[in-house]
Amino acid sequence: MKISLYDISKNPTKGIEFSRKIEISELGALASVGIVDVKDVLVTGSLVDLDSQYVLKFTCTVEMTQVCSRCLKEYSLKENYEVDSMISQDEADINGIIAEDGIVDIAKVIVDEILASKSMKSLCSEDCQGLCSGCGADLNVEECECEEDDIDPRFAGLLDLLK
Ligand SMILES: [Zn+2]
Ligand SMILES: [Zn+2]
């Protein structure tokens, strides 16, 4: 979903309101944070031209499936995102959302919000026990026979990557 700043300025009310569905296909790049599926997102908001200062506001709820970084199981979660930001056409501007060639890509803004909120580890629950570094057993569902110092180096390496 893309909005042109030119269209906003041309509009007699100097702004538009929108309520649209974003398709999953517009939400790439989320796999890097362990998100394997996203339901279509409904986004509601406005983009307004205040004296050549563009302001984007919207809210959306995203239902997604993510992989737990401790036990590697998929779990679903629902999160709300709220954006209230200036639009900048200067790519060097770090404070605003950048509109390349005067186009604001709402799907990209949502993806950036999700990525920013996922900088922390994703866990299926706060007290997820994770996988045994010795045998790979899911310690949430079973106990294993491993001793602390009986760690298969292949698993230890894998688990280090997930820390
Ligand atoms: Zn887990
Ligand atoms: Zn074990």
Residue 36 predicted with pLDDT over 90: no
**Which ligand lies nearest the alpha carbon of 70?**
1
Distance from the CA of 111 to the center of ligand 1, in angstroms? 23
Q: Residues 100-122, buried b or exposed e (16+ Cβ, 10 A)? A: eeeebbbbbbbbbbbeeebeeee
**Which ligand lies nearest the alpha carbon of 128?**
1
- The mean per-residue pLDDT over the stretch 9-29 comes to 85
The average confidence (pLDDT) of the chain is 86
Distance from the CA of 129 to the center of ligand 1, in angstroms? 7
**Which ligand lies nearest the alpha carbon of 130?**
1
Distance from the CA of 60 to the center of ligand 1, in angstroms? 26
Domain boundaries, the chain: 2-128, 129-163
Q: How confident is the model at residue 22 (pLDDT cuts 50, 70, 90)?
A: confident
**Which ligand lies nearest the alpha carbon of 126?**
1
Residue 159 predicted with pLDDT over 90: no
pLDDT tens digits, residue range 56-75? Answer: 999 999 999 999 999 999 99
Please classify residue 16 by burial: count the beta carbons closer than 10 Å to its beta carbon, then call 0-12 exposed, 13-18 middle and 19+ buried: middle
DSSP H stretches of helix in 12-152: 106-117
pTM: 0.77
**Which ligand lies nearest the alpha carbon of 140?**
1
pLDDT of residue 29: 76
Residue 131 predicted with pLDDT over 90: yes
**Which ligand lies nearest the alpha carbon of 151?**
2
Distance from the CA of 124 to the center of ligand 1, in angstroms? 4
pLDDT tens digits, residue range 73-113? Answer: 999 999 999 999 999 887 777 778 888 889 999 988 998 89
Distance from the CA of 133 to the center of ligand 1, in angstroms? 14
